[in-house]
Structure 1
């Protein structure tokens, strides 16, 4: 099985994995050249895959792949990786210090080579230490609430259509943002800079108020990546990071036109919850579409569900307290675009 573990920036993480490689696994690698995944490591926002591969000439290799998926357009990091592989027929140790970058997302390190195909088990130890981030070039300055904040045009533009438009003027390097709270810019930085995001994401989004604020922020700056982060926490099954009642989650998803999230959250709502919405008079806070669905559910019960044309699939592991919710939302959700006064 794949083993996943995380190391924080500036620290070394060491993990030992017992590998059970069966003869069928070797046959698959030899015939189809399919790698055998030993582990997945997330080190300071950078994902590494550790694979056992066959070279086609009777030998196997352990390779470390830096696999950032291109989320950040202008980054590079320095890291050190140490690997120990102990097998019944051989022992191997390798130490590498290298640089990975976004332009070479398939970066591969040769770790070690061993002969033979009759290895059934092994103990694998890996230590990865992130040394520093380089090449995230701060080439623009934002003036916010009287303060100057150096930022990366590429990074900001990649995560925000708003900033992409503003920072596209390469003849200027200073941009004034009147009316923009500095706290919003700090939040943005904490969520998009690679050396910050892993440690800070749960700190930034740890309450219903902050989750709603992030959605407001995503709309204001037209940031799909920030909206995706918010949706992830909004749909969190156990509410581990953000404690919110299902009805509150539903209202937030509805208010911000998050159709997919709204469908999924409906699986948490019980018939009693629906009746509470009607009794409390809060049904008017939902969209007209959802108001109709709630009243339909209360008035017709199971009949409205049986006659509906489409079932919303239940995600794995979701606990369903009510009957499955059917949604036939053909009305387009208006995108919220907030205009800002910006001096460039």
Structure 2
């Protein structure tokens, strides 16, 4: 009995000791912290959308992009949910003529209670690309009748694309990308005054920017997609630089005082480095052709732009629409930060 009892005690001691030793060496599992996706979104907000543009009025956003053969408008109250909206085709080009083919970079602007669309088109030959204007009196640009105001007769009648409008101090300005001659080559940013939304004032076109820096000459020298941004007493012209077929497509910037003569090149100062892009890790390559908008509650500034999901995808329909917030530096210049990778979650605009 003593031997049996002793053996039992030894066995119990062994089991208990082994159990304690085993428990002490087990590493507790790492807690799984779920990703907070409430009130957040991921880019892209639209899987196909080269050359995006957004206009904002009466609580709605109106978004456009290059389709090549029509002009379409997306209407939404929530930019981060753009992918759930069906586009409305508001204009189809004529079968033939100077504005029948290659319709690029449409932009929607509200002037004096009417809507205007500025778009690029040609007759099938790229050398004949020019700017054209549509007009609509309806309060909602996805409704009503669009009237063809014809070609915007820009000074010198040269190749022109990517036109945009600025209404500043009761004066309309039009900026675009163009060639110096009819023979192609480098692209420059030009500006002219308008007497009304579809008529250019007398006088020559003024060249504001040329591809001067190496980051503007990747592929070949390109300055295109100009977009105006006004903050306080400063006006900025943010443009796309380098050839869109390269992954080094990026945004450059010119700045001037709102009280200066905007047709005087000396009024403008050019940034020596890109202000956004050219790319980020995680499915964001060839960043460019942007626009700007406010959050629904008016407290936040956002940039909209296109990018490719992988390197080497060029100027086609791989380009998708992205957006992210930006801020202003103490000197009033915009701080766009860096392009967000598509893997990041971004807080939805305030007020959505």
Normalising by structure 1, we get a TM-score of 0.22
Which protein has the bigger helix share? 1
Normalising by structure 2, we get a TM-score of 0.22
Which protein has the bigger strand share? 2
